[in-house]
């Protein structure tokens, strides 16, 4: 298994088709060149954690071969930042872990995941220096829903509280950003569009970390198992969504979110290709600042399953 000192040195490499970049390799080094053939990035395959390709870029079988050899996934995103495919490098053959995954039938983990998520949402709102009446009511309501969460029994009850709590939280946290409603993948406004992008990046990072241990990504404990849905990844992103939420509010305060950077087409907002690299930079920077916490959380989640630990030892992510 990958140790943290080794993981700490690894990087996420992103290539954009909008800049007509080209990817090749030489002596186990990944090389990215610009349109004129000038090398803009050269990185040892030993130091790559994940390779992300945004847009249409030609990749060779040699790159895919090294992806398997050096155990880094290649994630493919379209121009709207939707991940449509992954060339995986997961640990294979961990049948004992998968047996434990499929034998787990309780709802305790689901409850802990949502509790962790709501507590981080509370931390964000409480950290505001001044709070308006909506935000003060949100703190009171979220604390009450946390107490109700301890009394839940079924997944439907847990998800019901999560849905109500999220609605209250979004209204309070994004109050100053002309918040309307959270509608995933609809891109009804700039904020929803950026949340989709940020959550997609988060999803890809968590997926890559789960693949280090050989989890069955389609067997979740909170989200129901649907065909072709990586329910386990959907589960484990929940405590970390606050990272993106915080960064979006921070970016708005710093004037980094500009309406002219987006294109409206039939009521949907899309980030212009020319500005995609700028927004990706500060979104990914926020996530990678927490990569140590993500690594240890995933590692402890694996150990929790393998060693049949108690609920008191379940991993926890505390936003700070």
Does the residue 236 lie in any domain? yes
Q: Is 46 within 8 Å of 69 (Cβ atoms)?
A: no
Burial class (CB in 10 A: 0-12, 13-18, 19+), 157: middle
Q: Are residues 51 and 187 in the same domain?
A: no
Range 18-28 burial, b when 16+ CB lie within 10 A, else e = ebebbbebeee
**Of the residues 58, 87, 116, the one at which a domain ends:** 87
Q: Are residues 109 and 12 in the same domain?
A: no
Q: What is the mean pLDDT of residues 23-43?
A: 84
Question: Which residues fall within 8 angstroms of residue 78, CB to CB, at 6 or more apart?
Answer: 54, 55, 84
Domain termination residue (choose one: 61, 87, 113): 87
Mean pLDDT over the full length of the chain: 91
Same domain, 45 and 153: no
pLDDT tens, residue by residue, 242-271: 999 999 999 999 999 999 999 999 889 999
Number of Cβ atoms within 10 Å of the Cβ of 126: 13
How many other C-beta atoms are found inside a 10 Å radius of the C-beta of residue 300?
15
pLDDT at position 1 = 66
Residues 307 and 166 in one domain: yes
Residue 302 resides in a domain: yes
Residues 155 and 261 placed together within one structural domain of the fold: yes
Residue that terminates a domain, selected from 87, 111, 126: 87
Give the residue among 308, 176, 271, 286 at the shortest CA–CA distance from 240: 286
* Model confidence at 319: pLDDT above 80: yes
Mean pLDDT of 108-131: 96
Residue 319 domain-assigned? no
Q: Which of 189, 203, 199 is nearest to 166 (CA)?
A: 199
**pLDDT higher than 80, residue 164:** yes
In this prediction, residue 14 has a pLDDT band, given cuts at 50, 70 and 90, of: confident
Of 13, 1, 3, give the one whose Cα is nearest residue 74.
13
By the 10 Å C-beta count (0-12 exposed, 13-18 middle, 19+ buried), 235 is classed as: buried
Q: What CATH number is attached to the domain comprising 174?
A: 1.20.120.920
- Is the predicted pLDDT of residue 41 greater than 90, yes or no? no
pLDDT of 80 higher than 80: no
Number of domains in the chain: 2
CB atoms near residue 102 (< 10 Å) = 10
Whether 130 shows a pLDDT value over 90: the answer reads yes
**Domain co-membership, 63 together with 208:** no
Do 122 and 16 reside in the same domain of the chain?
no
How sure is the predictor about 136, in pLDDT bands with cuts at 50, 70 and 90? very high
- Cα 195 from Cα 183, distance rounded (Å): 10
**Residue 56 or residue 289, greater confidence:** 289
* Contact yes or no for 50/75 (Cβ under 8 A): yes
Give residue 133's Cα distance to chain centre: 31
């Amino acid at each position: 298994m990958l140790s943290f000192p080794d993981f700490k040195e690894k990087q996420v490499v992103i290539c954009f088709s909008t800049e007509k970049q080209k990817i090749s390799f030489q002596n186990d080094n990944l090389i990215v060149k610009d349109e004129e053939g000038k090398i803009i990035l050269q990185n040892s395959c030993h130091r790559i954690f994940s390779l992300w390709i945004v847009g249409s870029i030609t990749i060779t079988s040699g790159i895919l071969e090294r992806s398997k050899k050096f155990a880094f996934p290649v994630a493919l995103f379209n121009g709207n930042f939707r991940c449509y495919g992954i060339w995986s490098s997961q640990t294979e053959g961990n049948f004992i872990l998968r047996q434990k995954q499929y034998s787990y039938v309780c709802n305790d983990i689901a409850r802990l995941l949502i509790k962790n998520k709501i507590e981080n949402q509370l931390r964000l709102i409480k950290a505001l220096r001044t709070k308006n009446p909506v935000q003060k009511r949100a703190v009171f309501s979220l604390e009450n829903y946390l107490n109700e969460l301890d009394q839940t029994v079924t997944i439907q009850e847990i998800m019901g509280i999560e849905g109500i709590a999220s609605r209250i939280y979004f209204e309070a946290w994004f109050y100053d950003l002309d918040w309307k409603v959270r509608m995933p993948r609809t891109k009804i406004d700039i904020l929803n569009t950026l949340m989709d992008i940020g959550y997609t990046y988060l999803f890809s990072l968590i997926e890559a970390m789960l693949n280090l241990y050989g989890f069955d990504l389609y067997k979740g404990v909170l989200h129901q198992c649907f065909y072709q849905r990586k329910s386990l990844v959907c589960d484990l992103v929940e405590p970390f969504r606050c990272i993106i939420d915080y960064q979006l509010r921070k970016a708005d305060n710093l004037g980094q979110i500009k309406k002219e950077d987006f294109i409206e087409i039939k009521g949907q907002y899309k980030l212009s290709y020319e500005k995609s690299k700028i927004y990706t930079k500060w979104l990914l920077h926020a996530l990678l600042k927490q990569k140590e916490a993500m690594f240890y959380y995933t590692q402890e989640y694996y150990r929790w399953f393998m060693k049949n630990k108690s609920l008191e030892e379940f991993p926890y992510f505390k936003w700070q």
